[in-house]
Amino acid sequence: MAAMAAFILRRVFQAIIVMLVVSALAFVMFKFVGDPIAQMVGQDTSLQDRAALRERLGLNDPIIFQYLRYLGDVIQGDFGISFRTARRVDVLLVERLPATLELALVAAVFALAAGVPMGVYTGLYPDRWLSRVFQAVSLAGISLPTFFIGILLILFFGVVLGWLPTFGRGETVRIGWWSTGLLTLSGLKSVIMPAFTLGMFQLTLIMRLVRSEMLEVLRTDYIKFARARGLSNFAVHFGHALKNTLVPVITITGLQLGSLIAFAIITETVFQWPGMGLLFLQAIQFADIPVMSTYLILVAAFFVVINLVVDLLYYVVDPRLRLDRSLAT
Amino acid sequence: MAAPQPLLQVDNLRIEFPTRRGTLLAVDDISFHIDPGEVLGVVGESGAGKSLTGAAIIGLLDPPGRIAGGQIRLDGRRIDNLPYEQMRRIRGKEIGAIFQDPLTSLNPLYKISRQLVETIRTHAEMSPSQARARALELLDAVGIPAASDRLDAYPHEFSGGMRQRVVIALALAANPRLIIADEPTTALDVSIQAQIIALLKQLCRDHGTAVMLVTHDMGVIAETADRVAVMYAGRIAEIGPVAAVIKQARHPYTHGLMGSIPAIGHPVEQLTQIDGAMPRLTEIPKGCAFNPRCPEVFDKCLSHRPDLRPAGGSDVSCWLF
C-alpha cells in the first residue's frame, strides 16, 4: 500500500506541473487572441474610456504580474468575469457543465456497451457475415465526420420521421446545482441523437481495438491451455480472453472520455446542445478570453484526472503491475 | 503383455493444412496405440508432426489444420469427429494436456487458486470450498512448497519450474487417464527438467495415468518412456519398446539419431550426424521420406513407401527389413 501511495503522490505532483503549464498557456491567450477591449465596447467609445477600461481590467501591468495575479485568482477559484456576459466565468461554466458531462457520459456508455460486444463478436467469429457488417459500419463510423453524421441524423429522425427533437436538451430537472435531462422523457429523447453522434467514433474505435486484442489473445498459450482443460467456451472467451484485452481498452476509453468532453464542441454546435462546448464556441466568436482560458484549464483538469484514474485501474485489472512483490520468488 | 483394449488407438491419422499453394500433408497416415498407464515417447525433429498429432488427439488443432483421415479412439470410442461441446467434456477430464512453455500457459490475470478451482469445478460437482481443498491437495502433490500460502498467488509470482508444476496440477485436476505432454521441459533449465520429468513420471504411475510424451530429448525418453515412436516428416519411422529402439535401432534414421547423442564416459572427437535436413512439407520425396539422407538407400526406397512392419522387437517402416 505504501508503494501505491507513493505512486499516487508522484502522479498528483506530475498533474500539478501539467496544470501549471496549461494555466500559463491559458494566460498567454489573453495576450495573443485579439483585443478584448475592442470586443467589449461599442464603436463610438472614446479612447479615454477604452484606456480607463484597460487600466481597470489590469491589462497594462507587466505580463509576469498579470500571470501571477491570474494564477493566484485561479487557485482561489476566481476565474474572472466573462467579457461578453459580464458574469462570473466559473458560474457560467458550472451551469453548462452538467449538460456536457451528461452528453459525454451517455455517449461513452453507448460506445462501450455497443463497442465491446461488437468487438468480442468480430474477434471470435471474424468470418461470419455479421462481423463483416460490423466492420463495414465501423469503417463508416471512423471515416465520416461527426457533423455529417449529426446532420444526417437530424434530417432523417428529426425532419423526415419527426421522432426525435433536433436541438436542445429538452426538459431538465434540478438536483442541487446539477441540472439533469436524463430524468425526463423529452430530455432522454433529446440526448439520443447527440450521444449517438458523439459516441459513434468512440464506438468504432473501441470495437476495432477489442477485436484486434481478442484475435491476439485467442492465439496465446494460456487460451489454448484453458481449452485443453476443458473449460466452457463462455469461460474461455469472457473469463480468460476478454479480461486480457481490458488494459488497452481501459486506456483508450479513458483517454477518449477526455476527448468526448473536449470535442463535444462540434456535436454541441450541430445539436445546439447547451453545454460547455457551445459556450466555448460563442466565447471564441467574441474573443471572450476568460471563458476560453477557463475552459482550457477545465478540460486539461479532466484529462489529468481521467489519466490518473486510468492508471489506477490498470492496477486493479493487472496483478503484474501491483508493486507489492513480497511474494515473488 | 498387451492389454485387451488400448486406452488410445490412432489409426491411419492424416493431418493436412490447406494453403494457397496446395494442401500440405503434415501428418501422413500414422497409427499407434497407448495402453492404460503406459508412457509413450514421441521423438522427432521440429516439424516432424509430433505436436500436431498431440493437438489432434485433444481436438485442438489450430485452424486451418484439420484431420483429413483416419480415426482416433479413446476406449474404443471415436473422438476425432465429436462435436465441439462433447469433445470439450473429454478434454481435461479424460485427456489432459501440458504445453511447452509454462510461462505462457497460465492466464497472468488470475490467481492460481482461481484457475485450479475453475478447472476442478468444470469437471466435478463440487462446492467452491471443496474445490479449493482439492486445489490445495494438487499443489501439494506437485511439490509446491508451502502450498497453502501459494494458493492465492498469481502466476508471475512463481518461477518457471514452479509454474510448470502448477500446469501439471491443472492438467491432473480432473484425474484424466491420458496426458499429452508436449515438450513439457523444453523451456526449463536443465536442472529443473529432471525434477519435472521425475514428478510427471511419479504422479502418472501413482494415478495410473498414461502419457504421450512429445519431446526431442532422447535422454528423457530413455528414462521415462515404456515405448517410443520415432517420427520423421509426418510419418512414424520406428515404434517399439524403449530398450529395443534405443539399443538396437533398426531404421537408419533412428540409428542416426542415436549416433548423434553424446555418451558420458565415452569421449568422441566428433558426434556422428545425419547429413542434410528433414524435407519441407512441400518437398517430401516419393517413396520413403528419408531416402535422400539415408546411407543405405536402394531402388525400392525411391519409388515405394514402406509401411510399419515388425522387425526384431519393434515395428519399422524401412525396406531393409
Give dist(CA A97, CA A179) in Å, integer: 9
Domain ranges of chain B: 8-104+178-263+270-316
Residues 6+ apart with CB under 8 A from B233: B28, B48, B49, B278, B279, B281, B284, B289, B290
> What cell was used for B224?
521415462
Q: Where are the beta strands (DSSP E) in chain A?
A: 173-175, 178-180
Contact B122 A320 (CB under 8 A): no
Q: Which of A262, A292, A296 is nearest to A279 (CA)?
A: A292
Nearest chain B residue to A324 by CA distance is B157
Range B23-39 average pLDDT: 88
Q: How many residues does chain B have?
A: 321
> What cell was used for B317?
517402416
Q: Residue with C-alpha cell 515404456? A: B226
pLDDT at B179: 92
Q: Please say if the pLDDT value at position B202 is more than 60.
A: yes
Q: How far is CA B201 from CA B140, B142, B183, in A?
A: 16, 11, 14
Nearest chain B residue to A221 by CA distance is B105
Q: Please say if the pLDDT value at position B150 is more than 70.
A: yes
DSSP string, A87-132: SBHHHHHHHHHHHHHHHHHHHHHHHHHHHHHHHHHHHH-TTSHHHH
Q: How far is CA B55 from CA A83, B35, B238, B260, in A?
A: 73, 19, 21, 28
For the stretch B238-285, pLDDT in tens is 898 988 888 888 888 888 887 777 766 766 667 777 777 788 877 788
> What cell was used for B126?
463440487
Q: Where are the beta strands (DSSP E) in B106-177?
A: none
For residue B231, what is the DSSP state?
A: E
By CB neighbour count within 10 A (0-12 exposed, 13-18 middle, 19+ buried), where does B248 fall? middle
Contact A227 B156 (CB under 8 A): no
Contact B104 A220 (CB under 8 A): yes
Give dist(CA B151, CA B170) in Å, integer: 13
* A72 has a chain B CB within 8 A of its CB: no
Give dist(CA B90, CA A271) in Å, integer: 58
Range B219-225 average pLDDT: 85
pLDDT at A326: 42
pLDDT at A25: 85
Q: How many helices (H) and strands (E) does chain B have?
A: 12, 12
* A238 has a chain B CB within 8 A of its CB: no
pLDDT at A327: 40
Pick the CATH number of B8-104+178-263+270-316 from 2.60.40.10, 3.40.50.300, 3.60.20.40, 3.30.465.10: 3.40.50.300
Whether the CB-CB separation of B173 and B120 falls below 8 Å is answered with yes
pLDDT tens over chain A, length 329 residues: 566 777 778 888 888 898 889 888 888 876 676 666 776 677 777 888 888 887 877 777 787 888 888 888 888 888 878 877 778 888 888 888 888 888 888 998 998 999 999 999 998 888 889 988 988 888 887 888 878 888 888 888 877 887 887 777 777 777 777 777 777 777 788 888 888 888 888 888 889 999 998 988 888 888 988 888 888 888 888 888 888 888 788 888 888 888 888 878 888 888 888 888 888 888 888 778 788 888 888 888 888 888 888 887 877 777 777 654 444 33
Chain B positions touching chain A (beta carbons under 8 Å): 58, 60, 84, 88-93, 96-97, 99, 101, 104-111, 118-119, 122-123, 153-154, 156-159, 162, 167, 170-171, 173-174
On chain B, the residues whose CB falls within 8 A of the CB of A317 are: 109
On chain B, the residues whose CB falls within 8 A of the CB of A229 are: 91-92, 96-97, 119, 122, 170-171, 173
Give dist(CA B58, CA A264) in Å, integer: 52
Q: Could you tell me the sign of the dihedral formed by the alpha carbons of A202, A208, A211, A212, in that order?
A: negative
On chain B, the residues whose CB falls within 8 A of the CB of A218 are: none
* A317 has a chain B CB within 8 A of its CB: yes
Domain ranges of chain A: 98-280
Whether the CB-CB separation of B179 and B171 falls below 8 Å is answered with yes
Interface of A with B in 202-231 (CB under 8 A): 220-222, 224-231
pLDDT at B42: 92
pLDDT at B1: 46
pLDDT at A40: 67
Contact B58 A319 (CB under 8 A): no
* A222 → closest Cβ in B93, B105, B171: B105
Range B108-128 average pLDDT: 89
pLDDT at A2: 66
* B101 → closest Cβ in A221, A231, A244: A221
* A48 has a chain B CB within 8 A of its CB: no
A98-280: which CATH topology? MetI-like fold (1.10.3720)
